A and B are shown apart, each in its own frame.
Chain A
Amino acid sequence: MRKFSKVEEEAEINMTPMLDIVFIMLIFFIVTASFVRESGLDVNKPPPSPDQPKNDEKNILIQIDANNRVFVNLRPVDISSVRANVERLHAENPKAVVVIQPAHDAHAEMVVRAYDQAREAGVYNVSIAESRE
């Protein structure tokens, strides 16, 4: 098994201190590596002036009031049927964008669910307008 002659081993660098340092650095970086897996929804800025009257007819407006009731184009709907409503309105007017207008005291979950359902319905141009007081 021993192929190497004894001669070449005479001049050898002692690797041990370097190895120690490398291992310590390795451990440091393994420990500090925080593989945070964040997933999320990108927030679009609302169109420049969201309450321009001429946009109101084209947009699909989802309003959420302070008691977490949801209105799609001013019609009260259940949160779970937002998707169906948006799909229908989107089919009627494929250029329509969805604007979500939550009240200040609405729950964040409702906004995210409405956003998610609008995207599920195939409308990726969703913006969240500033809340109404």
Chain B
Amino acid sequence: MREHSQKDEEVEINMTPMLDIVFIMLIFFIVTATFIKEAGVEVDKPFAVTAEPKEQASILIAVTENDEIWINRRKVDLKSLRANIEKLHAENPQGTVVVQADKRAKAGLMIAVTEAVNASGVPRVAISTETQK
């Protein structure tokens, strides 16, 4: 074992570089925090080859196999969906909406949901897909 110097208590660690790094990380995480409103259920998303990543997605709406609509961890009715989207969209006007439809969900319901999104004034809506198997 190496012998340590007895002067250890006098030496003070210079905190400044660590503080710099911690602050930069803090700023990074504050800036990137988007607080996505997750749907709250897992759905089996269909695959698509030509899908593009959606960076701005802030509201996720899930349409499950049993034709339930989930938004912000709550199950909602198709009629009250529009009001819910409007409320969530007002919190983050930059964000877009992504509809996560289950493979076995009814196409008509999926389209009705995208119509509701359009009607609530969100300019961009996308259907969520899986890019790779």
Within 8 A of A (CB), among B1-34: 12, 15, 19, 22-23, 25-26, 29-30, 32-34
Other A-B contacts than A34-B36, A38-B54, 12 sampled, CB-CB below 8 A, are A22-B19, A38-B98, A40-B52, A41-B52, A42-B125, A102-B108, A104-B108, A104-B109, A105-B106, A112-B101, A112-B127, A128-B114
Interface status of A120 (Cβ within 8 A of chain B): yes
Q: Which residues of B contact A (CB under 8 A)?
A: 12, 15, 19, 22-23, 25-26, 29-30, 32-36, 38, 46-54, 57, 60, 63, 98-99, 101-111, 114-115, 118, 124-131
Compute how far the CA of A130 lies from the CA of B105 in the bound complex, rounded to whole angstroms: 15
CB-nearest residue of chain B to A22: B22
| Distance of B27 from chain A, by nearest CB (Å) | 9
Instruction: Collect the chain A residues with CB atoms within 8 Å of residue B49's CB.
Output: 116, 120
Query: Is B32 touching A112 in the complex (CB atoms < 8 A)?
Result: no
* List of B residues within 8 angstroms of A108 by Cβ: 46, 63, 101-107, 109-110, 127
Interface positions, chain A 105-131, Cβ under 8 Å from B, are 105-113, 115-116, 119-120, 128, 130-131
Please state if B29 and A36 are interface contacts (CB–CB under 8 Å): no
A32 within 8 A of B: yes
Contact B118 A119 (CB under 8 A): no
Given that A40-B51, A40-B127, A40-B128 are contacting pairs, would A29 and B104 also be in contact in the complex, using a CB cutoff of 8 Å?
Answer: no
- Complex Cα spacing A124 to B60, Å: 24
**How far, in angstroms, from A79 to B81 measured CA to CA in the complex?**
31
**Cβ–Cβ contact A36 & B111, under 8 A:** no
Q: Look across to chain A and name the residue whose beta carbon is closest to the beta carbon of B7.
A: A2
Q: Which residue of B lies closest to A42 (CB)?
A: B126
Which chain A residues numbered 12 to 59 have a C-beta less than 8 Å away from chain B? 15, 19, 22-23, 25-26, 29-30, 32-34, 36-43, 45
Task: For the complex, give the distance between the alpha carbons of A42 and B127 in Å.
Answer: 6
CB distance from A73 to the nearest CB of B (A): 19
**Shortest Cβ gap from B111 to chain A (Å):** 6
Closest to A121 in B: B50
State in angstroms the CA–CA spacing of A97 and B52 once bound together.
Answer: 20
- Given the known interface contacts A45-B118, A108-B107, A130-B115, the answer about A119 and B29 at a Cβ–Cβ threshold of 8 Å is no
Q: Which residues of B contact A32 (CB under 8 A)?
A: 33, 35
Given the interface pairs A22-B23, A40-B54, the reply to whether A113 lies near B46 with Cβ below 8 Å is: yes
Which one, A9, A19, A120, contacts B50 given CB within 8 A? Answer: A120
Residues of B within 8 A of A40 (CB): 48, 51-52, 54, 57, 98-99, 126-129
